[in-house]
Amino acid sequence: MKTVLSALVISSFIAAPAFAIEPIKGSINFDGPSQESLSKTPVGSVLKHQFTSNGNDYVEIYVVGADGHPELVSRTASNNS
């Protein structure tokens, strides 16, 4: 049982990049990786970004990576109607 559990945990880390969240219009990094580096922001800092796109309100969560660029880790959407 421990072997099966270990295999599931390891496979989830391997498969994680396959499920990466793609930026949409309005995202901080929509036109490719952000050219601006958050050099004064500590690595691991969490940033919240709210915007509206195609009639939906979105909240995105970014984490500042080791290179100082924000990495998209979560997005939630709600209908604006």
Question: 36 vs 20, which has greater pLDDT?
Answer: 20
The mean pLDDT value for 51-63 works out to: 92
Residue 41 domain flag: yes
Report whether pLDDT(51) > 80: yes
Three-state secondary structure readout of 3-46: HHHHHHHHHHHHHHHHHCCCCCCCCCCCCCCCCCCCCCCCCCCE
Record the pTM. 0.66
CA distance 28 to 33: 9
pLDDT at 12 over 60: no
**Domain, as residue range, for 73:** 22-79
Averaged pLDDT for residues 53-60: 91
| Total domain count, the chain | 1
pLDDT category of residue 5 using cuts at 50, 70 and 90: low
Rounded Cα gap, residues 51 and 59, in angstroms = 7
In a domain, 54, yes or no: yes
- Note the pLDDT of residue 80: 61
- For residues 75 and 40, give the distance between their C-alpha atoms in angstroms, rounded to a whole number: 25
